[in-house]
Amino acid sequence: MHETLHSPDSFRAILPVAIAVEETDEDVSESELFIEEKAQAVDAVRSRRREFATVRFCARQALGQLGYPPVPILSGRRREPIWPDGIVGSMTHCDGYRAAAVASKADMAAVGIDAEINEPLPVEVADLIMSENEAQAIRYLVSSEPYVAWDRLLFSIKESIFKTWFPLTESWLDFTQCEVSIEASTFAGHLRIPAPAFNGIDLSCIRGRWTVCRRHLLTAALVVASDGLEER
């Protein structure tokens, strides 16, 4: 069994301490999967099985930080991860990066993390995921700070928002149904559809944080529990 991973340690820098996170830029062996997990990944290609195994390894390490024993983390009907009772969390993988973040439901109602390569989106994808307001803001950001692939960052933010939205609402959210504004290290996603309240929490605006880590963009959407603590 693996005991240590090389950790780029970057989601850690943008997540509140109540959220346990493990991240890595190297894969573990598929033998790390539980039998039930292997059954879900059996038809996948080898690279997919490796990322599937590695994020689950990260998730079990993160759960361990919260005092939880290793358990299988299965995928639900819409691919959402099924966490142990009392836990919320999120997983992401992209070329050269895998991460899992978990928290107690006492602290967080939902967490969504997403990692992407810091490279511009194909134009046809960019056109599909942003409103005219967002496109205008992105054009300005590109001209002032070309080092960040702002359109890819917007895409990642929307995916991290979706990873909080789906577990809370069990419903789809289109890229155009949420308008995002980006600040220096934070973002706010304003829902363009009626947003249900979840346990008294207003979901009409979902906020989060982002950073650039070497060649990756990392985003984290955070929905704090109604009596949870937002900051470190």
Ligand X SMILES: CC(C)(COP(=O)(O)OP(=O)(O)OC[C@H]1O[C@@H](n2cnc3c(N)ncnc32)[C@H](O)[C@@H]1OP(=O)(O)O)[C@@H](O)C(=O)NCCC(=O)NCCS
Q: Is 35 exposed, middle or buried (0-12, 13-18, 19+ CB in 10 A)?
A: exposed
CB of 9 to ligand X, least distance (A): 19
**Residue 56 to residue 54: CA distance in whole angstroms:** 5
Indicate the residue among 14 and 173 with the shorter CB distance to ligand X. 173
- Residue 122 or 229 with smaller CB distance to ligand X: 122
Indicate the residue type of 17: V
Q: How far is CA 174 from CA 127, 159, 205, in A?
A: 14, 10, 15
In DSSP notation, 118-132 reads SSPPPHHHHHHH--H
Q: Which is nearer to ligand X, 144 or 207 (CB)?
A: 207
Nearer to ligand X, 93 or 152 (CB): 93
Of 11 and 162, which has the nearer Cβ to ligand X?
162
- Bridge partners, 21 (sequence order): 101
Shortest spacing between CB 24 and ligand X, in angstroms:
13
Q: Which residues contact 184 (CB under 8 A, 6 or more apart)?
A: none
> Nearer to ligand X by C-beta: 6 or 79?
79
Residue given tokens 């997403």 in the structure block: 114
Name the amino acid, one letter, at 63. Answer: L
State the minimum distance, in angstroms, from the CB of residue 21 to ligand X.
Answer: 14
Element (H, E) at 90: strand 87-94
Count of CB atoms situated within 10 Å of the CB of 40: 16
CB of 51 to ligand X, least distance (A): 6
Q: Closer CB to ligand X, residue 46 or residue 79?
A: 79
Q: Which residues make up the interface to ligand X (CB under 6 A)?
A: 52, 55, 75, 78-81, 91-94, 114, 158-159, 161-163, 166-167, 173, 175, 178
Name the helix (H) or strand (E) containing 135. helix 132-144
**In angstroms, what is the minimal distance from the CB of 179 to ligand X?**
9
Q: Which amino acid is at 226?
A: S
